[in-house]
Amino acid sequence: MKNFKKAVCALMAVLMLITCCACGQSPTVERTVSVCEPNGELRRPISTEQPMWIVHIDSWNNADPEKIIDLIPEDILPYVVFNISLSISWDSDTKTWGLVNDGYECAKSWLRTCAEKNVWAMIQPASGGQCHFPDYVEPSDMKDTIFEEFFRDYPNFLGFNYCEQFWGFDQEDFPTTYIERYKHFTNLLKLTHDYGGYLVVSWCGNQWGQALNPIAMLKQVPEFEQACLDYTENYILCEKHTQVGYLHDVESQVLGAYLSGYSGQAGLRYDGSGWTGPDGQTNTKFTMATGVAIHLERLMQQGYTVIDGPELIWTECFRETSAERTEQGYSSRKWEMYDQFQNVMIDIFRKVLDGTIRIPTREEVINNTKAVIIQDVDKGDDDAKYCSPKTLFNGLYKMDNDGMLRDNRNFFKKSGRYPTIPTVYALADDTAKGFEIQINSSEYNKRWGKEENKLAELNELFPEEYTGDIYARRSDNTWTVYNPYKSGQSAEGVIPFKYNTADKVELTLSQYSGGIISEYADSLKIYLNNYDNELLSAFKLKTDVIKVYGCTEEPTLTYNDRGVSQVKSKVNTSWEGGVFTATIEHNGPIDIEISAKGTESGRLTEYKTATLVEPKRPPVYHGPHQYEAENFDSISIQKNLPNGCRSGVDGFKGQGYMIFGSKEDAAVLDHVSVLEDGKYTLTLRYSSPDASISKLNLYVNGKKVSSLSLGKTSSASDWQEYTIEVKLNKGDNTVELKATGELQGALYLDCMIIS
């Protein structure tokens, strides 16, 4: 074994056992390398200058982690944290998992890949109450648990992501209650603080009751409330859209937790599962273009620093395509990004990187928001005790045809005049106490129970800055705009300039079109995005219109299509009667610059600009590298099982395994990477239930190393290890197994570990 450990990282090989119960599982915790000491320093800080995008490596996809990582563009990659998503698929009749057979082993394998690729990663063990990991309620000290192991042994590990925590508790197979889960979060927050990581929790309003929403947890679990106060910077609360109700309330509570000082960051995990169309039915007329508005608004107006997802990775992010043939003649699994992932999600994040989107600080959002609701009600139903006041959003930004709380199915807003009003448990620090208007829920009806009273007070605070039925909201010299209709109708608005010396701009926006308008004294920079891969044919364009009034001379316009596989936009302009009209036909992201100036004086001149600091890559990992057989390149194998669950074979480490078979020309190949030239231990995990195997050669970098002799096993699930010392070169190496004749029986391959 090659000893790589530098001064701060002494290489160790120690096996530790710990017994823990997670649906009958008793995982072995392997202490491979003692790398990281708990010092409380954030491993990867998150701020308005260092936002984080959580991109999913998801078991629903039967993912190949290395190839998913390689898809992410280099300019985006430093800001990305990969989420190892152990998705939930549980059969209560057979008591078996349908996607991940052993959550601990799969998570460890994929985390090792992320470490080898030198990228940040976190693990998602749970969706709802169902979880692949044990729930520790006691003791509060998590030393030597699997939770500490990931922090301790992997310097690229950032924490745990608990998804959609609104369902699946207190069941026969998953008896954890939501109260116990939040006590578990209490312990995790201390652990993440000690190791400088994060606990990410996504919340979604639901029809089963609000007794487990973010405010309810602070009210019901004092330990969790204290942990949120003690370890605020380590807690990230995200809004999610899996269910179709309480949408504005979810936003208010997530934003409220952040602004009130109970979570260190706020995030958005967009999920098309909760989308309803103009008919009110789930998933009708959905396309990822629906996510343009909500991402722009949350980033630019609410100060969210974390994007998680989007959800439905297999339909919106990555897909496996037909295998490709390599130069060596092997069949290799191949992956690609969906166009909507590139044209919506990546393109929006690139607008963060180029400074078009400036994320405001917490203090700025509080100053801009001005009003807050403090949820102090302790009697009544769950809505009364834990939610925003029922009529809070009426007359402000709730769409006219939408319902309240449980029946609030539309996150689009009919007006940008008013900011999102947060609902909070309490105001935790002096910054949070900076809200100009603080209203207790118990006093809401007296003060704002009548809509006219609410509007009179808020209209005084937020004068009208535009007219029309578009959503438009200003932050300094930059406007966030979008069409709030689901029905397909266009939306129009007139925005008088605050910075540009011309008079005003008039917008007509097509369905799901959203964007950003940045004003300068003599020009406008405009970003529009409406990319639709579902409702339109590939070559059909939607029309947006921009009219600029009050220019002293005819403006000039330049534009640039930004998208991937985007049909070329058509832009036509006219100049008549002092009005400059630009008609933009497009399906996808487009940058537009208009040189426009007039004679207006007294315009604003000061505005803030975005500052980004590229996050550091994680420290170099020196532990074992693991390569799963289901991701090997192959020739003439019997079968590959990227998902081995319910296949009759058990005990494999990743998500699947390979049946190498017995054909005389069968072969597999994988690429392994090491930091230095030297001798390494190669461990092959295999089973051979039919017979001992001898007609098999091992090659490293094209040279034969050994003829292998693999003993017969009692079953396909009786995995054994064959260990051999090999010489590897610094950087990339190839490892091959080749049959030299028909094998004596079927060979099963689980994984290969290099240490």
Question: Cis before residue 310, ω within 30 degrees of 0?
Answer: yes
Q: Decide if 582 contacts 594 (C-beta within 8 A).
A: yes
**% of the chain with per-residue pLDDT over 70:** 95
Residue 690: both structure tokens together? 């039919």
- Residue 78 burial (CB < 10 Å; 0-12/13-18/19+)? middle
Q: What does DSSP say about strands 747-754 and 678-687: parallel, antiparallel, or unpaired?
A: antiparallel
- Distance, in Å, from the CA atom of 580 to the CA atom of 574, rounded to the nearest integer, reads 6
Q: Decide if 502 contacts 549 (C-beta within 8 A).
A: yes
The answer to whether residue 7 scores a pLDDT higher than 80 is no
Give the sign of the dihedral formed by CA 152, CA 153, CA 158, CA 164: negative
Q: Decide if 271 contacts 283 (C-beta within 8 A).
A: no
Q: How many CB atoms lie within 10 A of CB 480?
A: 22
Q: N- to C-terminal Cα distance for the chain?
A: 6
Q: Quickly state the pLDDT bin for 187 (edges 50, 70, 90).
A: very high
pLDDT of res. 33: 53
Of 309, 204, 203, 200, nearest in space to 265 by CA: 200
pLDDT, one tens digit per residue, over 247-284 is 999 999 999 999 999 999 999 999 999 999 998 888 88
**Rounded average pLDDT over 593-611:** 97
- Distance, in Å, from the CA atom of 276 to the CA atom of 286, rounded to the nearest integer, reads 8
Of 22, 311, 32, 306, nearest in space to 184 by CA: 22
Q: What does DSSP say about strands 633-635 and 491-496: parallel, antiparallel, or unpaired?
A: unpaired
Q: Decide if 578 contacts 552 (C-beta within 8 A).
A: no
Of 60, 61, 107, nearest in space to 84 by CA: 107
> Looking at this protein, which amino acid is placed at residue 181?
R
Q: Decide if 705 contacts 699 (C-beta within 8 A).
A: yes
The answer to whether residue 205 scores a pLDDT higher than 60 is yes
Looking at the domain 625-754, which fold is it?
Answer: Jelly Rolls (2.60.120)
pLDDT, one tens digit per residue, over 49-82 is 999 999 999 999 999 999 999 999 999 999 999 9
Residue 743: both structure tokens together? 């094998």
Q: Quickly state the pLDDT bin for 362 (edges 50, 70, 90).
A: very high
The answer to whether residue 537 scores a pLDDT higher than 80 is no
The answer to whether residue 9 scores a pLDDT higher than 60 is no
pLDDT, one tens digit per residue, over 457-477 is 999 999 999 999 999 999 999
CATH superfamily of 467-595: Polysaccharide lyase family 8-like, C-terminal (2.60.220.10)
- Distance, in Å, from the CA atom of 279 to the CA atom of 300, rounded to the nearest integer, reads 30
- Distance, in Å, from the CA atom of 710 to the CA atom of 686, rounded to the nearest integer, reads 8
What are residue 371's DSSP bridge partners? 437
Phi, psi of 219, deg, nearest 5:
-75, -35
- Residue 274 burial (CB < 10 Å; 0-12/13-18/19+)? buried
pLDDT, one tens digit per residue, over 622-641 is 999 999 999 999 999 999 99
Residue 66: both structure tokens together? 């290395």
Location of structure tokens 């925005």? 495
Q: Decide if 125 contacts 131 (C-beta within 8 A).
A: yes
**Rounded average pLDDT over 595-606:** 97
The answer to whether residue 34 scores a pLDDT higher than 80 is no
Q: What does DSSP say about strands 703-707 and 696-700: parallel, antiparallel, or unpaired?
A: antiparallel
Location of structure tokens 């990743």? 654
Helix, coil or strand: residue 189: helix
> Looking at this protein, which amino acid is placed at residue 484?
P
pLDDT of res. 139: 67
Alpha helices in 284-392 (DSSP H): 290-300, 313-316, 339-340, 347-353, 362-369, 382-386
Helix, strand counts (H, E) of the chain: 15, 41
pLDDT, one tens digit per residue, over 654-706 is 999 999 999 999 999 999 999 999 999 999 999 999 999 999 999 999 999 99
**Residues 6 or more apart whose Cβ sits within 8 Å of residue 93:** none
Tell me 621's DSSP state: P
Largest Cα–Cα separation, the chain: 89
The answer to whether residue 20 scores a pLDDT higher than 50 is no
Q: How many CB atoms lie within 10 A of CB 472?
A: 22
**Residues 6 or more apart whose Cβ sits within 8 Å of residue 459:** none
Where does 587-702 show beta strands of DSSP type E? 590-595, 625-628, 633-635, 639-641, 657-661, 667-674, 678-687, 696-700
Instruction: Give the containing element (helix H, strand E) for 131.
Output: strand 130-131
Alpha helices in 330-418 (DSSP H): 339-340, 347-353, 362-369, 382-386
Of 304, 318, 500, nearest in space to 420 by CA: 304
* Arithmetic mean of pLDDT over the chain: 93
Q: Where in the chain do CATH 2.60.220.10 domains reside?
A: 467-595
pLDDT, one tens digit per residue, over 99-155 is 999 999 999 999 999 999 999 999 999 999 999 999 877 767 788 899 999 999 999
Q: What does DSSP say about strands 198-203 and 30-31: parallel, antiparallel, or unpaired?
A: unpaired
pLDDT of res. 36: 86
C-alpha to C-alpha distances, 26 to 283, 410, 484, 719, nearest whole angstrom: 40, 44, 50, 17
pLDDT of res. 282: 85
**Residues 6 or more apart whose Cβ sits within 8 Å of residue 715:** 687, 689
**Rounded average pLDDT over 205-218:** 90
- Distance, in Å, from the CA atom of 263 to the CA atom of 240, rounded to the nearest integer, reads 16
Of 601, 556, 602, 616, nearest in space to 580 by CA: 556
pLDDT of res. 120: 98
pLDDT of res. 281: 85
Q: Decide if 643 contacts 62 (C-beta within 8 A).
A: yes
Q: Give the long-range contacts of residues 250-253, CB within 8 A, separation 24 or more.
A: 250/203, 250/204, 250/205, 251/302, 251/411, 251/420, 252/373, 252/388, 252/392, 252/420, 252/421, 252/422, 252/423, 253/203, 253/213, 253/214, 253/215, 253/387, 253/388, 253/422, 253/423
Q: Where in the chain do CATH 2.60.120.260 domains reside?
A: 625-754
- Distance, in Å, from the CA atom of 315 to the CA atom of 430, rounded to the nearest integer, reads 44
Of 5, 14, 222, 44, nearest in space to 675 by CA: 5
The answer to whether residue 431 scores a pLDDT higher than 90 is yes
338-375 burial: b if 16+ Cβ within 10 Å, else e? bbbbbbbbbbbbbbbbeebbbbbebebbbebbbbbbbb
The answer to whether residue 10 scores a pLDDT higher than 50 is no
Phi, psi of 704, deg, nearest 5:
-65, 130
Q: Decide if 358 contacts 300 (C-beta within 8 A).
A: yes
**Rounded average pLDDT over 290-319:** 97
What are residue 523's DSSP bridge partners? 520
pLDDT of res. 141: 78
pLDDT of res. 535: 87
Location of structure tokens 């596989």? 565
Location of structure tokens 């808020």? 458
C-alpha to C-alpha distances, 215 to 70, 186, 247, nearest whole angstrom: 39, 15, 15
Q: What does DSSP say about strands 590-595 and 556-561: parallel, antiparallel, or unpaired?
A: antiparallel
Q: What does DSSP say about strands 90-91 and 96-97: parallel, antiparallel, or unpaired?
A: antiparallel
Distance from chain centroid for Cα 262: 21
